[in-house]
Amino acid sequence: MKNIMVVATGGTIAGIGEKGKTVAYHAGEISVEDILKSIPSVEKIAHIQEIQLFNVDSNEIDETKWLVLAKKINELIQSEKIDGIVVTHGTDTIEETAYFLSLAVHSDKPVVITGAMRPATATSADGPYNLYQAIALAGNEQSKGQGVMVLFSNTIYSGRDIQKVNNYKIDAFDQKAFGCLGYMQDEHVYFFSKTFKYHTYQSIFSKNLPDALPKVGIAYFYAGADPYILDYLAQNHEGIVIAGSGNGNYSQKWLNRINELSESKQIIFVRASRVPLGIVFSDHVFDPHEQCIASNTLSAQKARILLSFALSITHDKQQIKEIFENY
């Protein structure tokens, strides 16, 4: 059996509420040790160790905690006595943490993130089974080199492409139009695809993580939106991601202000879309000066993470554009 380290950060999987109920609970209340005790059969599929790194609601996860988590994983995963890592996490920001770790973990060993939509005290809590399968996935030979994955509701997702699409059902995730990486039945793993974007041991960012990352904000465009939000963000951010309409679009007023801030303050802008499916391409007609870098298929929140990493090594717009094309 493989040796799997479970790194716990809290979330609904560690949540406590009224016995049997699925709502009105506090996330990040019980320990990972207690969660593992509720899955006695897990001892048959792996040798398990656990670390309670954090125990918080995932909305409390920020860049500082991301770096602590990534550095801890990079430290643990170097050991020959550890074959894979499982991270327990809240679902609200799990897609952001998954992409961050995809860029920050420097190893081809499996790293699997999982969580729950129902607290531990709910009837038919989904956390224990998700954790059981995540441990099995992290210990499976086929998982090596697949990058950071998320295991949820019998489904294996890429850390780059997973997105939360439902805030109510236990089958709460999807992977845009690409399909998932594979499925699981109990502890059995079935892969059908893989991501071709750079990740983990291929990532130029994972080799030497900084102690802090440049600040990048997100500006959400809507009909009639005042471009003042761009001025506000430009006061203390090195980069701004636009969550635009359609193909990452925005008004002429926003376009003019983006051009001005790009020139006067050297702010790096990225165009993403508030539309959940599709791709954002460069558009020299819409953006004649090409001040904004296209986010490709990344959501605004994931484009923010990649831009922050990119700005930690360069402010050259062409280099950052190439990074967005490859990651």
The residues that are catalytic are: 12
Residue 167 is classified by DSSP as S
Q: For residue 314, give both structure tokens.
A: 């360069």
Do 272 and 244 touch, CB atoms closer than 8 A? yes
CA distance 229 to 218: 10
CA distances to 134, 149, 194 from 156, in Å: 9, 7, 10
Is there a contact between 138 and 174 (Cβ–Cβ < 8 Å)?
Answer: no
DSSP one-letter code for 103: H
> Which of 86, 102, 89, 96 minimizes the C-alpha distance to 140?
86
Q: Which of 68, 130, 63, 58 is nearest to 94 (CA)?
A: 58
